[in-house]
């Protein structure tokens, strides 16, 4: 299950069966959010004078922001994953 499928909570909740799965989905969602945020920040930096821009630099920056996001989300993040996790658990409890 990917984090973006949380857009339809009823179908997403049926796929998350354990607290560990809920935590994983919450971290994936936070990583997706951070990736978009970092991607926007990187776009505003302009071209690197060493690499000179181009497709290779865009690909590198994309991979770099993805790894930054996963690393930050996996090591505590900025609090989004915790909130999402608690909401998933609450929704599961209410569904029972």
Which pLDDT tens digit goes with each residue over 49-86? 777 778 888 888 899 999 999 999 989 899 999 999 99
Q: Which of 50, 52, 3, 48 is nearest to 24 (CA)?
A: 3
What is the per-residue pLDDT for 4? 55
Is residue 88 a contact partner of residue 26, using CB atoms and an 8 Å limit? yes
Q: Domain coordinates of the chain in residue numbers?
A: 3-95
pLDDT of residue 63: 94
Neighbours of 32 (CB within 10 A): 19
From residue 64, alpha-carbon distances to 14, 28, 71 in Å are 33, 16, 10
Q: Tell me how far apart the alpha carbons of residues 81 and 66 are, in angstroms, rounded to a whole number.
A: 16
* pLDDT surpassing 90 at residue 46: no
């Amino acid at each position: 299950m990917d984090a973006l499928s949380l857009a339809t909570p009823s179908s997403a909740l049926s796929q998350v069966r354990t607290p560990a799965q809920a935590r994983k989905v919450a971290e994936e969602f936070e990583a997706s959010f951070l990736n978009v945020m970092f991607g926007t920040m990187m776009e505003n930096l302009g071209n690197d004078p060493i690499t000179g821009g181009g497709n290779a630099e865009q690909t590198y920056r994309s991979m770099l922001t993805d790894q930054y996001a996963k690393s930050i989300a996996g090591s505590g993040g900025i609090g989004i994953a915790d909130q999402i996790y608690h909401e998933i658990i609450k929704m599961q409890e209410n569904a029972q």
